Amino acid sequence: MITEFVITHGETRKRLDVFLCHREPDISRTRIQRLIELGRIRLNTTVVKPSHIIKPGDRIIMDTPQAESFTIEGEASPLNVLYEDDMLLVVNKPAGIVIHPTSGNWSGTLLNALLAHFQTHDKNGRDSLDIPKPGFVHRLDKHTSGVMVVAKTTEAHRALASQFERHTITRVYEALLWGTPQDTNGVIDLAIGRDSQNSKLVSANTARPKHAVTEYRVVRHFGDKVSQVQLYPRTGRTHQLRVHTASIGCPILGDTTYGGKKVGNIEELIIPRVMLHAKTLGFQHPTSGTVQEYSADLPQDMQHICQVLEHRERK
């Protein structure tokens, strides 16, 4: 599908990918950047970088591949809803759940559960054609648990996406790390991107480094093998927390992708997943402007690991 935009004189200076993300809220910024890199998005007939700054008079032509036609069905599934109104919904996502249907995960996703939830809990008695469609403003990996906000309207999606892009969102993660950081508090400032040798991985060894910063604070130690930390991402790069913690020699427990086999277990204690939890999320409500903040306690599997490690420390 071909879409054309002409930048008007009233448009503020911004990156090409940011502009298109606002204009096309149903397409993620990551996908827009990929389309630009593939040459499917051109500025004045020329291929430019996603970071190119647009100006009045610029003509953007976007050739979006037609997605394979399939229907995403609602599937009744338990949802831990922390807050909901007509604009948005805040949910505590369990680990092991994929956000959106993809190859190999066409059902059982968070989107399937949300569609069923909206159909069942619509307060205004609207028919199925008017029921809100979930809009994901941010994502959590399959094996990461925790708080997510989901937009229910285009207006809410744009407002929340803007806050994420400006890094005005409050985000606090909790993780169990292999080993202990040298400093109790610190900042990891390391540009990362798709690894030059393996495009499935993210690392500092990349042809397209992107600025990435993470603050951390050690909460407690379990001997010298494991530490519980809080992570405060200043930026929101793919796999940022996993790569950053591994870069200081303390990969997240259970993250064998970036930490190797050694982090998959502690002696006979098997680690079931990446021990990462999105604990707190704060944002400004799209319509009321009030600052809202939501938190979720550590899930049972992470609590269990902590209890076992604590018990060993007492011996």
Q: Where are the alpha helices (DSSP H) in 64-203?
A: 110-121, 154-165
Rounded distance, CA 54 to CA 48, Å? 11
Write out the H or E segment, with its range, that includes residue 7: none
Taking the CA atoms of 136, 140, 143 and 147 in sequence, report the sign of the dihedral they define: negative
Residue 36 lies in a domain: yes
Predicted confidence at residue 96, as pLDDT, reads 93
Which is more confident, 276 or 108?
276
Catalytic residue among 17, 58, 141, 301: 141
The structural domain count of the chain equals 3
CA proximity to 64, closest of 38, 29, 40 = 40
- The phi, psi pair for 149, rounded to 5°, reads -110, 140
Q: Are residues 26 and 128 in the same domain?
A: no
Question: Considering the entire predicted model, what is its pTM?
Answer: 0.76
Q: What are the C-alpha distances in Å from 2 to residues 21, 23, 24?
A: 16, 14, 13
Mean pLDDT of all residues in the chain? 88
Predicted confidence at residue 6, as pLDDT, reads 85
Q: Are residues 271 and 160 in the same domain?
A: no
Q: Are residues 86 and 141 in the same domain?
A: yes
Token pair in block for residue 307: 């209890």
Q: Domain limits at 278?
A: 170-314
Q: Are residues 43 and 18 in the same domain?
A: yes
141 is an active site residue: yes
| Beta-carbon contacts of residue 30 (< 8 Å; ≥ 6 apart) | 238
CA proximity to 16, closest of 5, 2, 161, 137 = 5
> Last residue of a domain, which of 63, 97, 114?
63
Highest mean pLDDT among 13-17, 69-73, 126-130, 176-180: 176-180
pLDDT per position as a tens digit, 1-42: 778 888 888 777 889 998 888 777 677 788 888 888 888 899
Q: Residue 22: give its domain's CATH number.
A: 3.10.290.10
**CB-based contact 147:170 (threshold 8 Å):** no
Predicted confidence at residue 147, as pLDDT, reads 98
Residue 70 lies in a domain: no
pLDDT per position as a tens digit, 80-107: 999 999 999 999 999 999 988 776 667 8
**CB-based contact 81:89 (threshold 8 Å):** yes
Burial of 104 (0-12, 13-18, 19+ CB in 10 A): exposed
Predicted confidence at residue 232, as pLDDT, reads 98
Residue 54 lies in a domain: yes
For every residue of 64-91, DSSP letters joined together read PPPPPP-PPPP------EEEE-SSEEEE
